[in-house]
Amino acid sequence: MRAAVYTGDSLVSVEQVPTPAIGPGELLIRVESCGICHTDLKKIEYNLLAPPRIFGHETAGVVAAIGTGVRGFSEGDRVIVFHHIPCGECFYCRHKLYAQCPVYKKVGVTAGYEPAGGGFSQYVRVMDWIVQRGVEKIPDGVSFDRACFVEPVNTCVKAVVQLDPRAEDVVVILGQGPIGLLFTALVKRSGATMVATDTMPYRRELALRFGAAAALDPRDPGLQERILEMTGGRGADAVIVAASAPAIVEQAVKCSRPGSRILLFAQTSHQERIELSGADICVGERNIFGSYSASVDLQKQSADLVFSGALPVEDLVSHRFPLNEIRSGIELALHPEPNSLKIIVQPQRWC
């Protein structure tokens, strides 16, 4: 089969590799759509993991083969796959901190080499503990491109549950890329008033369509003043940092009121550093916390949000690339154009 192999030095090369063999309890999935996620981009751009690897974890496809002992799936089933599933029994699972579970940290989907998701390939092997709890069937009439949003939507739903926005809140969402726009659509459901920021006019326009009361340029020197005007001079009740940029967390603090809740979502690289005033946090009684990856408890809910059309996820897809053009897709994701948003790789296409 063909696969996009990360070979080190920030390079990805489309190569012929063996189609993965499956064992008892496992599935082989023919990948139809896989979204390009910024966590994978960071691993490639900053060489965070040793090569070779095949990345891609927002995976939707068709069951191509079934290992012995598998129940509940048939060849031809249309499915999405989560690449992490926790053990459910350890200290962290008992405290519902699933992303810290040692089993969760093991990637259970691979196209070969060290497991890394594998969705940037024509087929992936889904290991037994993922098959048991991490595969959801796609209803008829739902496209693979829409279905591959289930995993990223889950991560956002998990974060919004932690943030717990209320109808009387003003929530600032910093960054309106695909993830920031998902946050805007989700927070709208709480009834909160949202202020979105992004440097790109098209993304600000979409934020208004997705429910933001205002969409502002974060470089505007009057940004803080505008938020103060909307909040009776207090500042935002909650802030979601949905992008990674220099000083963006400092901006989140400046936009927020004392006692606010500040969620860090995009700060996933150990190379990122944050410098804040201790008094702004301690004396200002602000709560800063992180949310990372998906929650198995929210798997069905996130799938229902995507499959039902309750979230306009397909409006986020701006580009679709065949596998042999994945390098163009990665470059576009790293350096967005004015109207580019979510980029999807379709491994069965070849141009």
Question: pLDDT by residue (tens digit) across 245-299?
Answer: 999 999 999 999 999 999 999 998 888 899 999 999 999 999 999 999 999 999 9
Among candidates 337, 195, 328, which has minimal Cα distance to 252?
A: 195
Query: Do 32 and 170 reside in the same domain of the chain?
Result: no
Spatial separation of the C-alpha atoms in residues 173 and 141, rounded to whole Å: 32
CB of 225 closer than 8 Å to CB of 255: no
Beta bridge partners of 126: 27, 109
Query: Residue 306: in which H helix or E strand, if any?
Result: helix 299-307
Where in the sequence is the domain holding 268, given as residue range(s)?
Answer: 154-290
Q: Which two tokens stand for residue 130?
A: 């993922």
Domain membership flag for residue 300? no
Question: pLDDT by residue (tens digit) across 110-150?
Answer: 999 999 999 999 999 999 999 999 999 999 999 999 999 99
Cα 340 to Cα 173, 334, 350: the distances in Å are 19, 11, 22
Q: Which two tokens stand for residue 35?
A: 């979204």
Query: Do 68 and 175 reside in the same domain of the chain?
Result: no
Sign of the CA dihedral with 15 first, then 18, 22, and 27 last: positive
Q: Which two tokens stand for residue 31?
A: 């990948």
Domain membership flag for residue 306? no
Query: Do 60 and 182 reside in the same domain of the chain?
Result: no
Question: pLDDT by residue (tens digit) across 21-37?
Answer: 999 999 999 999 999 99
Q: What is the DSSP string of 77-108?
A: -EEEE-S----SSSHHHHTT-GGG-TTTTS--
Count of domains in the chain?
Answer: 2
Domain membership flag for residue 299? no
Domain membership flag for residue 246? yes
Query: Do 113 and 241 reside in the same domain of the chain?
Result: no
- Mean pLDDT of all residues in 81-88: 98
